Structure 1
Amino acid sequence: MRLVSFERQGKPVLGIREGEQVRVIGGETLEALLARGVDLLQHAQANASDELLSAADLKLLPPLQRPPKIICVGLNFADHTSESKYEQPDYPTLFFRVHTSLIAHEQPMIRPAVADSEGLDFEGEIAVVLGKGGRHIAKNDALSHVAGYSVFNDGSVREYQFKTPQWTVGKNFDGTGAFGPDLVTADELPPGVKGLLLETRLNGKVVQSASTDEMVFDVASLISIISEAITLEAGDVIVSGTPSGIGWARTPRLLMKAGDVCEVTVEKIGTLRNVIADEEVAG
């Protein structure tokens, strides 16, 4: 099942994607449903309306607009670790995103108006959305906590990322975390999204390409390890890491400018597309 969040008359609405159309299933957000412990398939079946809308005409929202936590994983592909000049850590490199950085499919990804930045870098990734939380989750039970998966572009302002040893600021500029377009429920995908192709294209050219099998820490491991320290909650999003090919590591650097089009495609999940736009500053 493919769930789509979109805006209608200023309010979020949830629907099921059916080819080129979306069937409306109600106004309760995905994060609210997950927090209530609702079975998404049963909810969709019980609340599916007769109303079908053209998917192309919808103003999409991120699948979750205010998830409880957005936990990002750095250096989770060995080739990306190597191009970034780090030693491969034996523990996941974790940092957080804030919900105010999120944008939807086909919304502009914002290149910030800061004087000491050359541009915005791309990082195609898979987002893991939890259907239930917990603490000290066993690895062999971890995938049962997953509601579904989506696509993420962890847009990074590199100069700010590396101003300090903590990466947080460079990963949290408003309008840089693209998320969507759909949440694909876990039952429609290989367990732990094993063996799927992840690709990023900039202006139509492939700049990142890797299999999810190349992840240093797979989805089950990430959930289990993170839950050793942090109580995970239904609706939490784990952004699981990017492969090599980032623009910052290239010579010359390949950073995104206004008018560029960045697309991230994950096999069986979908394509997330955003046009880059310069931030408009009043005055």
Structure 2
Amino acid sequence: MKVAVVNSRTSLIIDGHVVDVAEASGGSLSEAPSEIFSQWSGLTELAARGIDPAGHPEVDPSLFELPQPAPGQAFGIGLNYADHSAESGMELPATPLVFPKFGSSIVGAGAVLGIASETVDWEAELVVVIGVDCFDVAREDAWSVVAGLTVGQDISDRVVQFEGGANPQFGLGKSAPGFGPIGPWLVSVDEFDTDALELDISFTLNGETKQSSNTRHLIFDVPTLISYLSARVLLKAGDIIFTGTPSGVGWGRTPKEYLAPGDLLETTIQGIGTLRTVVAAR
């Protein structure tokens, strides 16, 4: 099941068409994005009916919005691929390296990324979307609290991120407006083999591949991250987790590469889709 917000209305994406859930359910489901997680089981039942998408409008990428209500909490996980740790010159963490991505940075597919710095970098990431309020979740139960997965880009201003020297400002460097695009839709967990989540993940900049890996290389997998976080904070429905990026970021290259106005960022994850972001001067 693919759930999106199109024209500010909750929709299902079926075979390249947009199905408005309020209309398709005869009004039993709300069109309001704020109700996505409270009516998740209803969305699942609607999708299972086998709706014929004929007659429904075709997907128009320009109409996609943030595919969920704005998250109350957005967590970033640093250095969660060994090859990225190596290119960063940092040791592998013994426990998940967690930082906040403040809510004002989270935007949907197609949002313009405004930058005012010459040191803004890309990071392609799998994003986990929590579906229910939960605390102290056992690792073996972790997938039961996940609504779905989506594509994310953890945009980072490297100067701001490291301006603290030995005390880097990860959260501040990664939370400017537009620095957390996700989308274009949420894909429900039942679409994946969660016993062995092995999804290809890639990133292209203006059509040139910069990152290419697979989620099987995550150091701390999704259940571990959920168990770790929920043992420390209350996770709420709609909270999101950026699970980390593989090697190939601009900061790790020689010479270093950064984003510039006019750039097109495309992050693709197998089984989910492609998130596109355009860069502009702020």
Q: Normalised by the size of structure 1, how large is the TM-score?
A: 0.89
Aligned match of 2:19: 23
Aligned match for 1:13, one of 9, 12, 33: 9
On the 8 A contact 2:62/2:110 being kept in 1, the answer is: no
Aligned match of 1:148: 148
Aligned equivalents of 1:150, 1:57: Cα separation in 2: 15
Aligned equivalents of 2:52, 2:70: Cα separation in 1: 25
- Does residue 1:3 correspond to 2:3, yes or no? yes
Aligned match of 2:259: 256
**CA-atom RMSD, angstroms?**
2.1
What's the offset of the Cα at 1:39?
4.4
Q: Secondary structure at the match of 1:54?
A: coil
Q: Secondary structure at the match of 1:63?
A: coil
Aligned match of 1:241: 244
- Structure 1 residues 244 and 155, CA gap change in structure 2 (3 angstroms): same
Aligned residue runs from structure 1 range 55-134, under 5 A? 55-56=59-60, 59-111=63-115, 113=116, 117-134=117-134
Aligned equivalents of 1:263, 1:92: Cα separation in 2: 26
- Structure 1 residues 192 and 72, CA gap change in structure 2 (3 angstroms): farther
On the 8 A contact 2:74/2:101 being kept in 1, the answer is: yes
Q: Deviations over 1:28-47 (max 9, x none)?
A: 4445331467443125569x
Aligned match for 1:166, one of 169, 181, 187: 169
Aligned residues: 270
- Structure 1 residues 81 and 267, CA gap change in structure 2 (3 angstroms): same
Aligned match of 2:189: 186
On the 8 A contact 2:20/2:31 being kept in 1, the answer is: no
Identity %: 35
Paired AA for residue 167 in structure 1: F
Aligned equivalents of 1:131, 1:193: Cα separation in 2: 21
Q: Secondary structure at the match of 1:67?
A: coil
Q: Secondary structure at the match of 2:245?
A: coil
Paired AA for residue 41 in structure 1: T
Paired AA for residue 62 in structure 1: L
On the 8 A contact 2:9/2:33 being kept in 1, the answer is: no
On the 8 A contact 1:63/1:180 being kept in 2, the answer is: yes
Q: Deviations over 1:55-81 (max 9, x none)?
A: 116521111241121111111101111
Q: Secondary structure at the match of 1:34?
A: coil
Aligned match of 1:199: 202
Paired AA for residue 9 in structure 2: V
Q: Secondary structure at the match of 2:91?
A: coil
Aligned equivalents of 1:71, 1:28: Cα separation in 2: 27
